Amino acid sequence: MVQGLQDRYDCPVRDGCQLMNLPRSSYYYHSQKPDESQLAAHLLKAAGEYPKYGSRRLMHQLGRAPYFDPIGRYRVRRLMRQFNLLQPARHKRFRTTNSNHPYPRYPNLVEDLVVVRPEQVWVCDITYIRLKREFVFLAIVMDVYTRAVRGWNLGRSLDGSLTQQALDQALQDRVPEIHHSDQGVQYAAEAYVRQLRQRKVQISMAAQGEPRENGFAERMMRTIKEEEVDLSDYLDFADAQVQMAHFLDTVYNQKRIHSSLGYLTPSEFEANWTETHCDQGYP
């Protein structure tokens, strides 16, 4: 309207704005929608690589290499909504714990424990994976402080060798102070317990029927299910083993950022801790 008065009657901008009861700044301001094409491309690429990331984790991922996009969470959510990337969480449960056995039970040593260093507490758990023609089982050993996978094993049976091989891998170059698990027969069996005792590891177990007392391992398994198993179509056991190795050893330990680690990967977080504490007598 002000422009029309100026064009037709040669009316000064000041007078035209005064006549229309508008501040002169409104005449000179031209709203421009920011170009978000590159940001959207980065978001789609990051979401494609980590399809189960929520808005907060994607925000931090976009702030890292190779994107370096300073972006707020609400803007991420808006773009995720625009590209239909907001998905409801799915929760699946399958019982793999058999606590009906004659072996000794151990008290929960980590319930109120503050974990402040690597190898202070390892947690362990088992989950199942559905293949086209069979079920297979995954055993994990994770360091609580760094969230790093220390050992894992994929097997066709829930017998003791499943967890034993995962533990053997974890113990190759590290020993925990505390080993925490549920009361499943695999973790209470004589051979498994003997191996821990030989290395002077304290044994801790969650109370029967209390999966929350092994919450770190439960959340780890949920991440594996949501970000690897649910998104994969394994051809057979060998294919599942190859893909699981890539996810755990490369993606999870080296690439996946964790909110609990200040949005660093386990390897980055552990490297930072080691560099900080190497002069204090830690290995």
- Model confidence at 7: pLDDT above 50: no
Higher pLDDT, 166 or 29: 166
Tens of pLDDT, residue by residue over 62-106, are 888 888 888 887 788 888 888 888 765 454 454 555 566 778 999
pLDDT of residue 196: 97
Q: What is the mean pLDDT of the chain?
A: 84
pLDDT band at 154 (very low <50, low <70, confident <90, very high): very high
Q: What is this structure's pTM?
A: 0.69
Alpha-carbon distance of 147 to 165, in angstroms, equals: 20
Asked whether 172 and 268 are in contact (CB, 8 A), the reply is no
Task: Give the pLDDT score at 187.
Answer: 95
Rounded CA separation 152/134 (Å): 20
User: According to the model, what pLDDT value does residue 83 have?
Assistant: 80
Dist CA 245 CA 154 (whole Å): 9
The whole-angstrom separation of Cα 183 and Cα 201 is 17
- The SS3 assignment for 236 reads coil
Output 20 or 58, whichever has higher pLDDT: 58
Q: Give residue 54's Cα distance to chain centre.
A: 10
Cβ 214 vs Cβ 238: under 8 Å: no
Tokens matching residue 234: 């394994």
Q: How far apart are CA 108 and CA 212, in angstroms?
A: 12
SS3 29: coil
